[in-house]
Amino acid sequence: MPSPLEGKHIALGVTGSIACYKAVDLASKLVQSGALVDVLMTEGAQNFVSPLSFRSITHRPVITDLFRPESELSINHVAIAERSDVLIVAPATANTIARIANGISDDPITTTVLATKAPVIIAPAMDANMYENPATRQNVARLESWGYVMAGPAEGRLASGLTGKGRLLEPQQLLGCIGMALGRKGDLAGRKVVVSAGGTQEAIDPVRVIANHSSGKMGYALAEAARDRGARTVLVSAPTALSDPYGVELIRVGSAREMREVLLGQCDDADALIMAAAVADWRPKEPSDRKVKKGKSNEWNIELIKNPDILAEIKGEGLVKVGFAAESEDFLDNAQSKLLSKDLHLIAVNNITAEDSGFAVDTNRVILLDREGGVQEIPLMSKYDVAHHLLDRVVTLLR
Ligand SMILES: Cc1cc2nc3c(=O)[nH]c(=O)nc-3n(C[C@H](O)[C@H](O)[C@H](O)COP(=O)(O)O)c2cc1C
């Protein structure tokens, strides 16, 4: 399955911020995803990173000047504006934002922004006081009103030593923003997809929980893939170590019962529910509200009670329901009975005994079973690619 970035022309404008080093990583990630990346740099940016770094990563000329005879733009100054599928300015300084907001076009980046019909993403990076300044606030509001996507900035520690709003988003989040811009008219546009992820935690006492090995990676990949096909995506996540995916509505929960509450509400107007979370089947019957002392006994018996079966309970007119079955034996039989008992359209069966699929790893191989007895084997690939195969089936079911 080709990445949605495969063969896409991405123009990356880099301006004079200390955060330029992150743009090098972004360029690298884009190239690894198959994109053709044209980097344009301001003079300011070249004080922080050399054009050679970008040229070596993208294997393409880097544009630093409109008028240099060897620059493509000196022959056709709107060439990159015309061929780009997305234009992203990252990092975007206060200065470049101001110039774009005033229609100025006196360098390769501002000229390309002004001339393009492609979606434009602006990812600001600056000191918090510069970002809060009324001039910048007004310029940002102006760009938003014109339909530019403002990606960030995030809050956190800034190069100035201050803590505040002004940090450039991380390259992974910028990549998500580009994926979202490319997929805005995808085959899930106008649909709401709810995904659950992670392993629920069931309290034994205020410090101890019953947990499981789910890393949440499959669910997060599904949410990102749905986002990249244009869906409004809600991710209901039990605790994981993963960072928040860009452009996805993330709702954090702890226990199975919390997850149930949120999912019941979210599925009211959803088109599809994909349940990739590992929901605990059991929880301690009477969790203690104080930490249980170690004591002298060598045994501690905890009585368990069954958790609600969320997937079986959620029903909706036209709601496509997809489940996951993590199995270590009798894969297909167990999954088939789960498919029927929970009234699912589709179930993805994982063999959790294999090292290259299942929990914690970035790859997966699954077998998709449907109500009609269809069996589709998806060989080993990244979880993001598996997610797209699964979403292909969801799109067909929604039709
Ligand atoms: C060390 C250093 C770091 C800077 N970091 C930023 C920054 O993060 N954001 C910003 O808006 N300006 C920053 N500036 C100021 C810009 O580089 C300056 O406004 C420049 O004119 C921007 O030009 P450009 O937008 O054409 O790249 C920094 C300047 C220096 C000397």
Q: Name the amino acid, one letter, at 24.
A: V
Counting atoms of ligand 1 from 1, which one is nearest the CA of 130? 11
For 207, counting Cβ atoms within 10 Å of its Cβ (0-12 exposed, 13-18 middle, 19+ buried), the class is exposed
- The pair phi, psi for residue 101, each rounded to 5°, is -65, -15
Q: How far is the CA of 128 from the centre of ligand 1 (A)?
A: 13
Say which residues have a Cβ less than 8 Å from residue 332's Cβ, sequence separation at least 6: 349, 367, 369, 375
Tell me which CATH code domain 192-398 carries.
3.40.50.10300
Counting atoms of ligand 1 from 1, which one is nearest the CA of 95? 25
- Euclidean distance between the first and final Cα of the chain, in Å? 21
Query: pTM here?
Result: 0.89
Q: Name the amino acid, one letter, at 233.
A: T
Sign, Cα dihedral of 214, 215, 216, 217: negative
The pLDDT assigned to 387 comes to 96
Q: Is the CB of 125 under 6 A from ligand 1?
A: yes
The pLDDT assigned to 357 comes to 61
- Give the active site residue among 47, 76, 133, 212: 212
Structure tokens at 129: 């006081």
| Cα gap 159→19, rounded to integer Å | 9
Counting atoms of ligand 1 from 1, which one is nearest the CA of 16? 27
Q: Is the CB of 263 under 6 A from ligand 1?
A: no
Closest CA to 378 of 367, 370, 391: 367
Enter the DSSP assignment of 33: T
Q: How far is the CA of 56 from the centre of ligand 1 (A)?
A: 24
- On whether the CB atoms of residues 293 and 207 are closer than 8 A, the answer is no
Q: Is the CB of 122 under 6 A from ligand 1?
A: no
Q: Is the CB of 126 under 6 A from ligand 1?
A: yes
Ligand 1, atom 4: nearest CA belongs to which residue?
17
Measure the CA dihedral 165/151/115/98, to 10°: -10
Measure the CA dihedral 245/247/249/254, to 10°: 10
Q: Tell me whether domains 9-182 and 192-398 share a fold.
A: yes
The pLDDT assigned to 333 comes to 81
| Cα gap 181→175, rounded to integer Å | 10
Q: Is the CB of 71 under 6 A from ligand 1?
A: no
Strand-pairing partners, residue 41, are 14
Q: How far is the CA of 185 from the centre of ligand 1 (A)?
A: 35
Ligand 1, atom 10: nearest CA belongs to which residue?
93
Q: Name the amino acid, one letter, at 83.
A: R
Task: Give counts: helices (H), strands (E), the chain.
Answer: 13, 19
CA distances from 30 to 177, 222, 255, 322, 334 (A): 12, 20, 37, 31, 40
Number of residues that this document lists for the chain: 399
Q: How far is the CA of 92 from the centre of ligand 1 (A)?
A: 9
Say which residues have a Cβ less than 8 Å from residue 338's Cβ, sequence separation at least 6: 323, 325, 344, 347
The pLDDT assigned to 202 comes to 95
Of 18, 93, 112, the residue with max ligand 1 atoms within 8 A of its CB, to mutate for a pocket test, comes to 93
| Cα gap 348→368, rounded to integer Å | 5
Q: How far is the CA of 16 from the centre of ligand 1 (A)?
A: 4
- The pair phi, psi for residue 383, each rounded to 5°, is -65, -30
- The DSSP result for 98-114, as a single string, is HHHHTT---SHHHHHHH
Q: How far is the CA of 131 from the centre of ligand 1 (A)?
A: 12
| Cα gap 312→117, rounded to integer Å | 46
Q: Is the CB of 168 under 6 A from ligand 1?
A: no
Closest CA to 394 of 280, 316, 318, 306: 318
For the chain, the domains span 9-182, 192-398
The pLDDT assigned to 36 comes to 97
| Cα gap 182→149, rounded to integer Å | 12
| Cα gap 323→277, rounded to integer Å | 9
Q: Is the CB of 45 under 6 A from ligand 1?
A: yes
Tell me which CATH code domain 9-182 carries.
3.40.50.1950
CA angle 19, 3, 213 (to 5 degrees): 80
Closest CA to 273 of 215, 317, 314: 314
- On whether the CB atoms of residues 38 and 84 are closer than 8 A, the answer is yes
CA angle 204, 283, 331 (to 5 degrees): 130
Predicted confidence pLDDT, tens digits, the chain (399 residues):
667 899 999 999 999 999 999 999 999 999 999 999 999 999 999 999 999 999 999 999 999 988 887 778 777 788 899 999 999 999 999 999 999 999 999 999 999 999 999 999 999 999 999 999 999 999 999 999 999 999 989 998 877 777 889 999 999 999 999 999 999 999 999 999 999 999 999 999 999 999 998 899 999 999 999 999 999 999 999 999 999 999 999 999 999 999 999 999 999 999 999 999 999 999 999 999 999 998 888 999 999 999 999 999 998 888 999 999 877 667 778 888 889 989 999 999 987 666 666 666 788 889 999 998 899 999 999 899 999 999 999 999 998
The H-or-E segment that residue 197 falls in is strand 192-197
Ligand 1, atom 22: nearest CA belongs to which residue?
16
Q: Is the CB of 136 under 6 A from ligand 1?
A: no
| Cα gap 179→224, rounded to integer Å | 9
3-state SS assignment for residue 310: helix
Q: Is the CB of 64 under 6 A from ligand 1?
A: no
Q: How far is the CA of 44 from the centre of ligand 1 (A)?
A: 7
Q: Is the CB of 96 under 6 A from ligand 1?
A: yes
Say which residues have a Cβ less than 8 Å from residue 343's Cβ, sequence separation at least 6: 312, 315, 321
Q: Is 351 a catalytic residue?
A: no
